[in-house]
């Protein structure tokens, strides 16, 4: 017996002797002697030999590879293992039985919102593992679940350890380049979840990948793998498949760059999996020969000390964190898998097509879960296993595989011709001007490209390049370009769906609530829902559900077409566009946060309100949402009290406009729907009155505080004044705050004048005079638009000043010349549009009331502010009675006679009563004489007091 064992060991050691010798000679020939190249080449053979000698059979796979799936189906039917160890997060094991209720592709997901032991900015944590039918892992799962007496054990690290070992946290997606096509909706089905790289087989050495692509004459890695690995391994036997995959995994592992963190994580995963397998073997007493270990080829060629069933047990698994993990299934798609794992667009669809062709050609019967939607009905996989055959030592299949020339597959002209006709038909449907000549050109170009790339038969990638070359024009007439049309034609972007029974309780409850709509909401696409609540009151519950879904789900999942929800209003009729089937992932993830959508909404509102960075405006928004969507007075009072605390602690006025808007709306709602105001809103008004009075003088002079924010503060103070005064506030506090405000900004100065008018410290006539003075001062005219901006914002706290603002704007256009008006007119328009767009309707309405309604009446129209007599103007000085004639000249005529003689004039003196009635010029223009008389009156005794009166009045 001992002699026989030694003989077998010798045979095993000599399995790859010939290959080692050839590689050593090649290294000495090309490198000029033994060096690192020889160590790498011989190390590859050692890794393959070590993996083959392991008593527990290792089955290396590649992620979503048809060749791996086909080899897996063959091996499972031949070996019939009793235990299948699968490289997948061990905490996802309970989800596997739910795959029967789903339509592939779907993804296993672990989700955590209650994060403990990790940074808060990592939340939520999400891990996904997509499953497609053309994958080796699905074949292993289906075999284990459909075959009695077979155990399926997941041995990879848990979802919690994925983030424990990731020191950098969830990696953000790299921004797309400027030439990258826009991401479609199907490519975002996984969100920002971390993908479990089961069977991830791609070179981590950039120079190696570039070398393979250049010499393989392909554009991307997926095409190289399809041409040089998938097709050759599709028809190979089991031993050849394993040895080639071991070799590829070892090559990529030995040529991987030395990233210490990534290498440590990979090795820890391998230690973790082998530790779990040894624990299971020890606990169950299973013979390793009856087991099968399915893992990625990269991890199959491991060199850690814990490798194998006889490896050392020195690795300690850290305990899980305190995070609460939820598990479920989410829909996936080919595009989502390609986007998450960096595969070429359309590669997974091409792999699905290749899988179907290989099944038809090879006659292999794959394993499928019974009753699964979207799969063909097949017999159960529980047939009696074939008689066990003695294990033969592995033969060297690598040498023959590496030496054999590429298989020249005969050109299938019928298949290529069908592709060419179909792509032309699809192009015409999408707006391209394609014809039969284009189909012929695509056919010939595909053959030409395959010949240039040393291929006897065009691959789908060659056909895709040929179609783009022959059909694509300068512009894309429709939604899809030719490259996308080829991807759809080759199999399309299959999108999975999670069945009703596999959904979390929240999602099932949503579908149950919306059942009265009689719509197929689980299907993808948009469904139009019409709710006539007036005639069918039972639909109001559906309306409440839809409004909550609109708040919780992404935009487009539930979009209202007709109808709105406001405080104090009840719905009558509504119309909705629903796409819950398209956004099924988001609906499922809501189920991880609670058992009902009301609970999830309440949790989110509380989380928003009690956030350390929450502002009073955001908390008031949560109060409004709690009242609007949940109709919960209890939650609204709780969040309102929180808003009062946040407002008292604020030291800036950034959120004043939003606070004013929401408080007014809530106050109007409570006054109309409640017998008395809630205690929290009374306290909010009282505290806010004192709070904004304290901040008002500083806000007027603070450069960071905008005029809109200061106007909102004044609006809060003036609108809440009656309520605040009834609760015990003092109006003197507001008057002192306004008196202590000394702004320098023109807009804030105008706002201060409006506040003084509201408080009675400045009359409306005085405000008009200030505006006239601004226009009369050439130095102030350039900044007059900013004064107008302040006046417009003043309509928020003092809406009664709309006529004064209209007069100020009209006077500017009437008095200023074009050379002054035109330069600052754009500034005025942009200022009003950006800062006071919501207040412009007040001005338009007031202008419509003042200005004439017809164009013909505009020429004769006189503005009312011009005819208005000033109230506080000085009374006119009474004019003395006119003197009949010049009494002084008649009494002393000598001087006039001498002057008349000198001038040669003759005339006689007339009596005083019949003489001329004074100077005609003075009669026409008496203002000068009146002013002179008033001046002389101040020189008479007692006239000083009257003079002061005249000056103060003027």
What 3-state class would DSSP assign to 330? Answer: strand
C-alpha span between 703 and 726 (Å, rounded) = 34
**Is 562 in contact with 573 (CB distance < 8 Å)?**
yes
The H-assigned helical ranges of 476-591 are: 482-489, 505-513, 539-552, 584-590
Q: With the CA atoms of 774, 776, 778 and 783 taken in that order, what torsion angle do they form, in degrees rounded to the nearest 10?
A: 20
Entry pTM: 0.70
Q: What is the pLDDT of residue 381?
A: 42
N-to-C CA span, the chain: 131
Measured in degrees and rounded to the nearest 5, phi and psi for residue 111 equal -135, 135
Mean pLDDT by 10 residues, the chain (954 residues): 38 56 55 55 76 88 86 91 91 89 87 82 84 88 91 90 71 41 56 60 64 73 77 80 84 70 82 90 91 87 84 84 86 82 78 83 86 57 46 62 60 80 89 88 89 80 88 81 81 78 90 92 89 90 93 91 88 91 89 89 92 91 92 91 90 87 90 88 90 90 88 90 86 89 90 90 88 86 84 86 85 80 76 69 76 77 65 48 59 80 76 56 74 69 42 35
Q: Name the residue among 96, 110, 106 with its Cα closest to residue 159.
A: 110
How far is residue 274 from each of residues 86, 314, 815, measured CA to CA in Å? 11, 11, 90
Query: Residue 287's Cα: distance from chain center in Å?
Result: 52
- Cross-strand bridge partners of residue 577: 528, 559
SS3 155: strand
Residue 937 three-state SS? helix
Measure the CA–CA gap between 865 and 861, rounded to whole angstroms. 12
CA-CA distance, 466 to 443, in Å (whole number)?
A: 8
Helix (H, G, I), strand (E, B) or coil at 113: strand
Q: Phi first, then psi: what are they for 325, rounded to 5°?
A: -100, 135
Which pLDDT value is given to residue 172? 41
User: What does the pLDDT look like over 446-500, one tens digit per residue?
Assistant: 888 888 887 777 888 888 889 998 998 777 887 788 888 887 777 666 788 888 8
Query: Rounded distance, CA 567 to CA 376, Å?
Result: 53
Q: Tell me whether residue 129 is exposed, middle or buried, using C-beta atoms within 10 angstroms of its C-beta: 0 to 12, 13 to 18, 19 or more.
A: buried
**Cis ω on the peptide bond leading into residue 206 (within 30° of 0)?**
no
Cα(705)–Cα(88) distance, integer angstroms: 56
For residue 39, give both structure tokens. 């160590």
Cα 442 to Cα 269, 387, 872: the distances in Å are 47, 52, 92
Alpha helices by DSSP H, 614-678: 616-625, 633-649, 656-673
- Output the six-digit token pair for 543: 């309306």
**Contact status, residue 294 vs residue 59, Cβ threshold 8 Å:** yes
Euclidean distance between CA atoms 815 and 817, whole angstroms? 7
CA gap 438, 443 in Å, rounded: 9
Distance CA 507, CA 497 (A): 13
Q: What is the number of residues in the chain? A: 954
Give me the DSSP letters along 225-277. Answer: HIIIIIHHHHT--HHHHHHHHHHHHHHHHHTS---HHHHHHHHHHHHHHHHHH
Closest residue by Cα to residue 522 from 629, 377, 373 = 373
Q: 608: which 2 tokens?
A: 């928003």
The CB density around residue 778, as the number of other CB atoms within 10 Å, is 8
């Amino acid at each position: 017996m001992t002699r026989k064992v030694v003989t077998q060991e010798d045979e095993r050691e000599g399995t790859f002797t010939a290959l080692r010798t050839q590689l050593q000679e090649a290294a000495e020939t090309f490198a000029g002697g033994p060096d690192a190249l020889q160590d790498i080449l011989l190390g590859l053979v050692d890794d393959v030999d070590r993996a083959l000698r392991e008593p527990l059979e290792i089955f290396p796979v590649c992620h979503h590879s048809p060749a791996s799936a086909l080899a897996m189906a063959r091996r499972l039917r031949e070996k019939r293992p009793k235990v299948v160890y699968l490289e997948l997060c061990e905490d996802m094991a309970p989800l596997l039985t739910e795959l029967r209720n789903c339509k592939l592709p779907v993804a296993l997901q672990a989700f955590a919102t209650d994060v403990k032991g990790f940074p808060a900015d990592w939340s939520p944590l999400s891990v996904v593992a997509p499953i497609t039918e053309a994958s080796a892992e699905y074949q292993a799962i289906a075999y284990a679940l459909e075959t009695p007496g077979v155990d399926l054990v997941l041995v990879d690290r848990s979802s919690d350890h994925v983030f424990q070992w990731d020191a950098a946290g969830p990696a953000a997606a790299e921004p797309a380049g400027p030439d990258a096509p826009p991401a479609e909706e199907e490519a975002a089905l996984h969100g920002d979840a971390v993908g479990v790289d089961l069977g991830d087989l791609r070179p981590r050495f950039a120079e190696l990948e570039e070398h393979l692509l250049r010499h393989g004459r392909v554009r991307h890695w997926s095409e190289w793998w399809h041409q040089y690995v998938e097709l050759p391994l599709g028809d190979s036997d089991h031993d050849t498949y394993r040895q080639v995959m071991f070799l590829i995994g070892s090559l990529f592992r030995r040529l991987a760059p030395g990233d210490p963190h990534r290498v440590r994580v990979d090795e820890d995963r391998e230690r973790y999996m082998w530790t779990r397998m040894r624990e299971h073997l020890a606990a169950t007493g299973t013979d390793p020969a009856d087991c099968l270990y399915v893992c990625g080829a990269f991890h199959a060629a491991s060199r850690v000390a814990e490798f194998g069933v006889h490896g050392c047990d020195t690795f300690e698994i850290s305990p899980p964190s305190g995070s609460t993990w939820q598990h479920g299934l989410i829909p996936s798609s080919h595009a989502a898998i390609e986007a998450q794992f960096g595969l070429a667009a359309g590669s997974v669809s091409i792999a699905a097509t290749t899988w179907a062709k290989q099944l038809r050609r090879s006659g292999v019967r794959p394993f499928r879960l019974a009753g699964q939607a979207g799969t063909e009905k097949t017999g159960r996989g529980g047939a009696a296993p074939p008689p066990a055959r003695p294990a033969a030592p592995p033969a060297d299949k690598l040498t023959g595989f590496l030496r054999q020339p590429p298989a020249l597959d005969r050109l299938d002209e019928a298949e290529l011709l069908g592709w060419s006709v179909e792509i032309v038909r699809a192009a015409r449907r999408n707006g391209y001007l394609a014809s039969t000549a284009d189909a012929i050109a695509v056919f010939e170009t595909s053959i030409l490209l395959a010949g240039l790339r040393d291929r006897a038969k065009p691959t789908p990638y060659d056909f895709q390049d040929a179609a783009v070359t022959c059909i694509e024009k300068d512009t894309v007439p429709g939604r899809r370009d030719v490259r996308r049309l080829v991807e759809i034609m080759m199999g399309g972007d299959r999108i999975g769906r999670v069945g009703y029974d596999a959904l979390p309780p929240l999602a099932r409850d949503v579908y149950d609530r919306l059942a009265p709509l009689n719509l197929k909401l689980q299907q993808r696409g948009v469904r139009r829902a019409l709710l006539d609540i007036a005639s069918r009151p039972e639909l109001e519950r559906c309306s409440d559900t839809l409004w909550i879904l609109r708040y919780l789900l992404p935009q487009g999942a539930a979009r209202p077409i007709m109808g709105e929800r406001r405080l104090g209003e009840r719905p009558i009729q509504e119309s909705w566009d629903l796409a819950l089937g398209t956004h099924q992932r988001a609906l499922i993830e809501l189920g991880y946060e609670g058992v009902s959508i009301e609970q999830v909404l309440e949790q989110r509102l509380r989380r928003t309100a009690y956030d350390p960075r929450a502002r009073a405006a955001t908390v008031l928004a949560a109060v409004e949402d709690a009242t609007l969507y949940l109709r919960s007075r209890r939650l609204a009072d709780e969040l309102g009290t929180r808003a009062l605390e946040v407002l008292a602690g604020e030291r800036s006025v950034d959120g004043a406009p939003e606070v004013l808007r929401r408080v007014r709306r809530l106050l109007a709602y409570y006054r109309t729907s409640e017998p008395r105001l809630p205690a929290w809103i009374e306290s909010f008004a009282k505290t806010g009155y004192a709070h904004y009075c304290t901040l008002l003088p500083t806000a007027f002079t603070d450069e960071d505080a905008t005029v809109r924010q200061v106007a909102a503060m004044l609006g809060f103070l003036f609108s809440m004044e009656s309520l605040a005064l009834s609760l015990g506030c003092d109006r003197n506090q507001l008057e002192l705050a306004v008196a202590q405000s000394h702004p320098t900004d023109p807009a804030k100065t105008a706002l201060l004048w409006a506040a003084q008018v509201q408080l009675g410290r400045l009359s409306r006539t005085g405000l008009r005079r200030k505006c006239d003075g601004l226009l009369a001062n050439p130095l102030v005219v350039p900044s007059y638009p900013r004064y107008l901006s302040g006046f417009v914002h003043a309509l928020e706290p003092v809406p009664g000043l709309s006529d004064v603002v209209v007069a100020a704007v009209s006077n500017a256009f009437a008095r200023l010349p074009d050379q002054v008006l035109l330069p600052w007119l754009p500034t005025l328009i942009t200022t009003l549009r950006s800062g006071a767009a919501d207040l412009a309707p007040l001005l338009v309405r007031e202008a419509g009331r003042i200005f004439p309604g017809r164009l013909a009446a505009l020429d004769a129209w006189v503005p009312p502010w011009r005819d208005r007599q000033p109230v506080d103007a000085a009374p006119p000085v009474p004019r003395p009675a006119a003197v009949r004639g010049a009494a002084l000249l008649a009494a002393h005529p000598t001087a006039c006679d001498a002057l008349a003689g000198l001038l040669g004039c003759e005339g006689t003196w007339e009596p005083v009563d019949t003489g001329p009635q004074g100077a005609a010029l003075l009669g026409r223009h008496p203002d000068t004489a009146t002013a002179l008389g008033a001046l002389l009156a101040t020189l008479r005794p007692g006239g000083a007091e009257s003079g002061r009166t005249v000056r103060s009045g003027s």
